[in-house]
Every structure is written in C-alpha cells, then in structure tokens.
Homo-oligomer: A and B are copies of this chain.
Amino acid sequence: MKLFERLKADAAPQWADYTQHDFVEQLGDGKLPLECFKHYLVQDYLFLIQFARAYALGIYKSPRVADMRMSLEGVKAILDVELELHIELCGKWGMSRDEIEQAPEDTPTMAYTRFVLDAGMSGDLLDLQAALAPCVIGYAEIGRQLSAKGCDNDTNPYQRWIQEYSSEAYQSLANDFSSWMDGTADDVMTERRYPRVLSLFEKACRLESDFWQMGLRAKV
C-alpha cells in the first residue's frame, strides 16, 4: 500500500473533517460567501510564501540530487507561478497586490505553516513530506471530487479554483508527490517510526481544517 493511502486510512476522521469541511461543501455548491473566499485567498497567498520556504527546506534536507530537484519543482511552482495567479484572482475581486502582501497573517496560517517548517527542520525529509502531504495531495482529492460532482460549472463563482485543482497538471503533481514520499519511505520508514509520521500527518490535517474554518469565520 502506498504510504499516503495508509496515512489517510489511519487518520480517517481528521482526513474527512478536512476534505469534507463546510468550507469545501459551500465552495462546491457556490454558496460560500465571497468575503469568506477572499479572506481565505489572501491568507493562502501568505501561506504559499511559507510553503515555498518549506520546499526550500526540502532541497536543503535532500540526500540525493534527484530529491533536490523534486523539491525545487515545488519552490518554482509557488514562486514562479502560483503567487502571481493569486494576485490575478484577487485582482478580479478588487484587491490590490499591496493589500494582499500587507495583510496580517491570521493565526491558523501561522499555525499550519510553522508546524510544517518545524516538522521538517527537526526531522528528516520523510517528516517534512508527511507534514506537507495533506495540503499537496488533499487539494488534489478535493478538486477531483468537486469536479466529479460537476461543481466546476459556469454558474459557480469558484469555478476557476476547482478547475485549478482538478486539472491534469495538478493531479499529476500530487501523484508525483505521493510517489516521491513512497520512495523516501522505502529508504527510511520503520514500523516503530510510523506512529510519529502518522502524528505529523494527523496534525497537518487538523491544521488544514482550522484553515478552512478561518475562512468561514470571515463572514461579515
């Protein structure tokens, strides 16, 4: 069994809370208040800056050049592409680049990102991957599920977001990440270590749920 599938099964309640969160449901049926989405999107921009640091940590932590290149793809995807997409998307809703970059980090943003960075710094590459996995692979599952239900229709104001994460490009990136984590686990995973890896995964799922909840709380 792939490590990700095992983690997902063993953290089933946390995984369900995260991937079937109210925020996701409302985003899927288009009823999510725009204020909630905008707050989420700005925080996700600040989140991505920290995630680029986490992928950079992956380069630093990699025992092999091939691993370094996998992490480099993650850094590039964020710094060269995703940040600008967020600026564009936010621009459509009248938010300026300055407004986004100057926004204060909300607590759930700090909580999740610093947790991942510390998990990676204090542990090894597998610990970092386990803490990153709920975000990287979870968004792919959410995108795929919403798309399968037809939520990415023209009437949904969040169509583009769903299309982004259900896209072949993103699905492929998530699959590559999962295989990369398997490769690392083949080298360094032991059964006695597994509970610690699972604990990182579970905590990251909980912190993802808190991140959605932060979006819902933004309703005016």
Contact = CB atoms under 8 A, between A and B. Distances in A.
A118 to B, nearest CB: 4
A110 B206 CA distance: 11
Interface residues of A, number: 46
A41 interface: no
A184 to B, nearest CB: 10
A150 interface: no
A79 B69 contact: yes
A72 B68 contact: no
Contacts of A57: 56, 60
How many of these chains are in the complex?
4
Given A56-B60, A192-B188, A76 B72 contact: yes
A123 interface: yes
Contact of A83 (B56, B65, B115, B190): B65
A122 B207 contact: no
27 contacts: A52-B59, A53-B59, A53-B60, A53-B68, A56-B57, A61-B122, A61-B123, A65-B79, A65-B101, A72-B76, A75-B75, A76-B76, A107-B206, A110-B115, A110-B203, A111-B114, A114-B115, A118-B118, A118-B121, A123-B124, A186-B192, A187-B190, A187-B193, A188-B190, A188-B192, A189-B190, A190-B190
